[in-house]
Amino acid sequence: MKKSLIYLDEEDIQSSIDLLEAVRQIYRDECYETYAFCFNQPIEAAECKFNYVFSVRDNMLQGCDIVNLTNCLEELHRTYLFDSILIPASYQGRMLAPRLAMRLGVGLVADVTRIEYNDGELEMVRPAFSGKLFAGVTNKNCSPVMMSVRPNVFTYTSKHLKDTKIIPFHPVSLQPSKIKLLEAKEKERAKDIRESEILVSGGGGAAHHFDWLYQLADELNGMVSASRRVVDSGIAGRSIQVGQSGKTVSPRLYIALGIYGSLQHMEGLKNVESIISVNINRNAPICSLSDIVVEGDSKEFIEKLLTKIRNSKKNKDMEAER
C-alpha cells in the first residue's frame, strides 16, 4: 500500500486539497492511502477527503517558522516512511519543500504542472528556461517522490467520501523559535486573476489598445489578463500574466484578444468552460481550442461589443423606469 503525504498550506487549503488529484495520477491503479499535515487550523476542509489527517496544536509552531515546519515533516516521514510528499508551490511551500528535500536526502521537482508516465517510469513535467520549454524529470525508483506543485493545475473532483481518521501529532523535534513576531498588519488583499470567472486577455495583437480591455472587463464584471509578450513589453504587470511562466487560470469565460496562443500560453489554461478568440489570423493555435473564433481586429471587436452591452443595459434601465 503506497502512502502519500500532502502539506496543507494554511493560506491556500483548496490548492493543497487539489493535490489529491496529482496523487491519483501518480499511483493510477495502485492501492494508496493519503495523509494530510495541518497545524493550528481547522481540519474540516480535509475531512472525508483524506484517509488520515495529522493535526498539530502547538503555539510554538508558526507558519513563518520554516525550520520547525521542516522538523515536523521530517519527523513524520521518519516515522511513517511515505512513498511521496507533495507540497503546494505557494510562498510558504517554495521555502519549505527544498529544505525538507535536503533533510531527507532526496531530489525535489519544483513547480510541477503535469504528471505523466514514460516507458513505465513516473515523469514530472515543469517549466524550464523562464517558461520557454517543458522539462520532464523522471523518477528512478527514488523514495520518497518529492514535488512542489503549481496552484490551479490540478483539480480534485472525486465525490467518494473517505472515513478520515484524525491523528493528534505531538512532534518531539520542535525547538524554541528564533523568529519573533514584532508587528502584524492586515494587508489589503489584491484581486487575483485565478479567482475571476471572466477574463479578458490581451496578447501582442492588442498591445496598442490594451487599456480598452479594462473597459470591457468592467462591463462584464471580469478581470484583465495578458500574455507573456505583453508583459515583457512592459504594458502589463507580471501578476496578470497567463501561461507557463505566469499563472494557471480556470475561468468560465476566457476572451483572448490578439493572442497567438503558443504552447506556453495554453499551458496556463485549465478547465476553461468557454474560450472566445479574436484574431486576424484564423490559424493561430489558440483558435483550435476556442468555442468561438472571430476573425478580425481586436479593437474593433471591443468597440462593437462595448456598444452592444451598453445599449442593452440602457434599454433595460428604460424598461425598469416605465
Residue type present at position 66 = I
Task: Note whether residue 186 is domain-resident.
Answer: no
Task: Indicate the DSSP class of residue 316.
Answer: H
**How is residue 151 written as a grid cell?**
496552484
Residue 242 among known ligand-binding residues: yes
Residues 64 and 31 in one domain: yes
Residues 153 and 246 in one domain: no
Residue 245 among known ligand-binding residues: yes
- The SS3 of residue 247 is strand
11: CATH:
3.40.50.620
Residue 244 among known ligand-binding residues: yes
Residue 262 among known ligand-binding residues: yes
Residues 146 and 236 in one domain: no
Residue 14 among known ligand-binding residues: no
Residue 41 among known ligand-binding residues: no
Give the pLDDT score at 190: 66
How far is the C-alpha of 294 from the C-alpha of 221, rounded, in Å?
22
List per-residue pLDDT tens for the chain, 322 residues long.
999 999 998 878 888 999 999 999 999 989 999 999 988 777 788 889 999 999 888 776 776 788 889 999 999 999 999 999 999 998 889 999 999 999 999 999 999 999 999 888 899 999 887 667 788 898 877 889 999 999 888 989 888 888 999 999 888 887 877 777 777 776 665 689 998 999 999 999 999 999 999 999 999 999 999 999 999 999 999 999 999 888 999 999 999 999 999 888 998 998 899 999 999 999 999 999 999 999 999 999 999 999 999 998 888 877 777 6
Residue 152 among known ligand-binding residues: no
Residues 12 and 122 in one domain: yes
**DSSP per-residue string spanning 19-75:** HHHHHHHHHTTS-EEEEEEEESS--GGGTTT-SEEEEE--TT--TT-HHHHHHHHHH
Residues 66 and 140 in one domain: yes
* Residue 299: partners with Cβ closer than 8 Å, 6 or more residues away: 206, 208, 209, 212
Residues 81 and 215 in one domain: no
Q: Which of 295, 267, 268, 264 is nearest to 281 (CA)?
A: 295
**How is residue 267 written as a grid cell?**
499551458
Residue 261 among known ligand-binding residues: yes
* Residue 13: partners with Cβ closer than 8 Å, 6 or more residues away: 41, 45, 46
In degrees, to the nearest 5, what angle opens at C-alpha 11 toward C-alphas 6 and 15? 50
Chain-centre distance of CA 11, in angstroms? 13
Residue 265 among known ligand-binding residues: yes
- The SS3 of residue 209 is helix
Residue 243 among known ligand-binding residues: yes
Residues 149 and 8 in one domain: yes
Residue 59 among known ligand-binding residues: no
The tally of domains found in the chain comes to 2
What is the domain extent for residue 66? 2-168
Residue 24 among known ligand-binding residues: no
pTM assigned to the model: 0.76
Task: Note whether residue 173 is domain-resident.
Answer: no
Give the pLDDT score at 187: 62
Give the pLDDT score at 89: 92
